[in-house]
């Protein structure tokens, strides 16, 4: 956003003259006016008060790398290579690029908007500017590919932990890792394998999309909600959210490495939104009662012929009436 500095100055909600803004930004008054117009075109509500100046009417929640870093637990800060972008195609693609260019430490990319946000199963992830959180992390796990089985569920638990710590109550998880509130989907996680397959090391990109302030989301074809809609009494700040999410993911990955997936079975099951409902999987090939997950992260469906484990991946699970 070209007008980020301008909006930072206006974010106190006071009236600022064109002259004082021009001085603070080191530009002409005409340039200030152009930035105001641009910001308004991008959806920021700014009032022009004749003879006095400009005032921000809507509250803005700007991303800021220093604020994100200070919201991350100190023990993790040193390992992280944080990149905060104004706009990107997909933060997952950007982290993939950073990993393949050999960037050291733990690459994390956050963007204010995505122009080609990716969802699971080839879907588009609607990613409007300034509204939500789009965050990707490059994760390296020691161990074989079996480590991947539980990973996406582990990440779902980590997101729920972070959101609950900040004041979200009653969150649910929809297998394998959608974040749900009673109003619908609040967020999703896209886990993509990165690089050449190497024995003993697994590299993945984990992308988190959380609806934060959105009140409308064009093109989304299922019930959805945002933190601001579902928890209007909490003051949601994307920087805090990002810092807490990164910390929760690092905590969860430490526990996963130390104790394996078993440590996540109970926390995942406690938030299972399917449990006890009639469900179908594999395009209707498996129909039965949802019975939670097993120690590998498969979803169990109790059918007339016994319990069938359903693997995460191509197939989805849905409630049938
Ligand atoms: C889903 O379909 O539920 C997963 C959505 C994942 C969206 C996030 S937003 C940040 C990261 N970058 C992407 O392109 N996708 C993920």
pLDDT in tens, 227-270: 999 999 999 999 999 999 999 999 999 999 999 999 999 999 99
Q: What are the tokens at 25? A: 């930004």
Which atom in ligand 1 lies closest to the alpha carbon of residue 135? 10
Report pLDDT for 146: 76
Nearest CA to ligand 1 atom 7: 209
Q: Is 306 exposed, middle or buried (0-12, 13-18, 19+ CB in 10 A)?
A: exposed
87 C-alpha vs ligand 1 centroid, how far in Å? 15
Kindly tell me the sign of the dihedral angle through the C-alpha atoms of 36, 39, 43, 46: negative
Q: Is 31 exposed, middle or buried (0-12, 13-18, 19+ CB in 10 A)?
A: middle
Q: What are the tokens at 45? A: 């509500």
Annotated binding-site residue numbers: 90-92, 114, 118-120, 185
Band (pLDDT 50/70/90 cuts) for residue 7 is confident
- Rounded distance, CA 72 to CA 79, Å? 11
Q: Is the pTM of this model over 0.85?
A: yes
Residue to mutate, 119, 120, 133, 210, ligand 1, most ligand atoms under 8 Å from C-beta: 119
- Rounded distance, CA 196 to CA 194, Å? 7
Report pLDDT for 215: 84
Q: What is the DSSP string of 140-180?
A: EEES-TTHHHHHHHHHHHHHHHHHHHTT--S-EEETTTEEE
Report pLDDT for 12: 82
308 C-alpha vs ligand 1 centroid, how far in Å? 29
pLDDT digits (tens, 9 = 90+) for 180-200: 999 899 999 999 988 776 778
Nearest CA to ligand 1 atom 9: 209
Band (pLDDT 50/70/90 cuts) for residue 148 is confident
What is the percent of the chain where pLDDT is above 70?
97
Q: Which residue numbers are catalytic?
A: 120, 185, 318
Whether residue 188 has its Cβ less than 6 Å from ligand 1 = yes
What mean pLDDT is predicted for residues 94-109? 92
- Rounded distance, CA 273 to CA 318, Å? 11
């Amino acid at each position: 956003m070209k007008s980020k500095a301008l909006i930072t100055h206006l974010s106190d909600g006071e009236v600022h003259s064109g002259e004082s803004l021009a001085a603070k930004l080191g530009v002409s008054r005409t340039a200030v006016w152009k930035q105001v117009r641009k910001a308004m075109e991008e959806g920021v509500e700014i009032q022009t008060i004749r003879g006095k100046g400009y005032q921000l009417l809507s509250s803005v929640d700007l991303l800021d790398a220093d604020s994100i870093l200070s919201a991350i637990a100190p023990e993790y800060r040193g390992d992280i290579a944080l990149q905060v972008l104004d706009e990107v195609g997909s933060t997952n693609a950007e982290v993939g690029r950073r990993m393949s260019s050999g960037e050291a430490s733990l690459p994390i990319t956050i963007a204010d908007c995505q122009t080609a946000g990716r969802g699971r199963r080839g879907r588009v992830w609607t990613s409007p500017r300034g509204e939500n959180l789009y965050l990707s992390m490059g994760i390296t796990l020691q161990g074989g590919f079996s480590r991947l089985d539980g990973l996406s569920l582990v990440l779902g638990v980590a997101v729920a932990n972070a959101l609950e710590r900040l004041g979200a109550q009653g969150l649910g998880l929809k297998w394998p890792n959608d974040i749900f509130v009673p109003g619908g989907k609040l967020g999703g996680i896209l886990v993509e394998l990165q690089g050449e397959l190497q024995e003993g090391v697994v590299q993945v990109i984990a992308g988190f999309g959380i609806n934060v302030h959105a009140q409308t989301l064009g093109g989304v074809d299922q019930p959805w909600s945002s933190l601001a809609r579902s928890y209007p009494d909490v003051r949601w700040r994307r920087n805090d959210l990002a810092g807490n999410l990164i910390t929760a993911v690092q905590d969860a990955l430490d526990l996963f490495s130390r104790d394996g997936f078993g440590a996540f079975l109970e926390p995942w099951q406690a938030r299972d939104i399917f449990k006890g409902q009639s469900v179908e999987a594999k395009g209707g090939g498996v129909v039965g009662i949802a019975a939670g997950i097993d120690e590998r992260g498969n979803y169990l469906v109790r059918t007339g012929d016994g319990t069938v484990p359903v693997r995460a991946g191509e197939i989805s699970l849905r409630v049938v009436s």
